[in-house]
């Protein structure tokens, strides 16, 4: 797990540093904990960076232990699959995985999270 404490406030959104682009391998699931509050998984897939909450909506298992598919993540515990664009679950429609925006600046990946106060 990567622990990065640096972030920039961006209105009511928070912008977190998720490391350099060059530190990512295609399909590698990287986990972060930001502000000791947000558990996030980031993955590079087909030159795009995708970020989502690193906790399965079912029983909070880390999705970084799951299996990456074509624009999906499958939980390792019960096999539920989540769409990485919408967060939709293939089994339980009410279980939506929070998806976060990413931003590339200066060869660095940032995750944008709406503050959940
Ligand atoms: S804990 Fe993830 S599908 Fe059950």
Tens-digit pLDDT string for the chain (117 aa): 544 545 555 558 999 999 999 999 999 999 999 999 999 999 999 989 999 999 999 999 999 999 999 999 999 999 999 999 999 999 999 999 999 999 999 999 999 998 765
- CATH pick for 7-66+99-114 out of 2.102.10.10, 1.10.357.10, 3.90.550.10, 3.10.400.10: 2.102.10.10
Domain boundaries, the chain: 7-66+99-114
CA atoms within 13 A on the CB side of 45: 18
Which ligand 1 atom is at minimum distance from the Cα of 57? 2
pLDDT confidence of residue 3: 45
Region label for 76, one of left (φ > 0), alpha (ψ between -120 and 50) or beta (otherwise): alpha
Pocket test for ligand 1, best of 63, 67, 80, 93 (most atoms within 8 A of CB): 80
CA of 78 to the centre of ligand 1 (A): 5
CA of 20 to the centre of ligand 1 (A): 30
pLDDT confidence of residue 27: 95
pLDDT confidence of residue 9: 58
CA of 60 to the centre of ligand 1 (A): 7
Pocket test for ligand 1, best of 52, 55, 56, 92 (most atoms within 8 A of CB): 56
Q: Which residues does a 6 A CB cutoff place in the pocket of ligand 1? A: 56, 58-59, 61, 75, 77-78, 80
The model's pTM: 0.89
The CA distances from residue 45 to 22, 60, 89, in Å, are 13, 23, 19
């Amino acid at each position: 797990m990567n622990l990065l404490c640096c972030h920039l406030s961006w209105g009511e959104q928070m912008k977190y540093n998720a490391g350099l682009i060059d530190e990512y391998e295609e399909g590698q699931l990287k986990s972060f904990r930001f502000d000791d509050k947000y558990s996030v998984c980031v993955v590079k897939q087909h030159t795009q960076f995708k970020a989502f909450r690193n906790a399965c909506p079912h029983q909070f298992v880390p999705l970084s232990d799951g299996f990456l598919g074509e624009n999906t993540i499958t939980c390792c515990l019960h096999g539920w699959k989540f769409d990485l664009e919408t967060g939709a679950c293939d089994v339980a429609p009410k279980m939506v995985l929070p998806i976060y925006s990413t931003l590339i600046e200066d060869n660095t990946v940032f995750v944008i999270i709406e503050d959940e106060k």
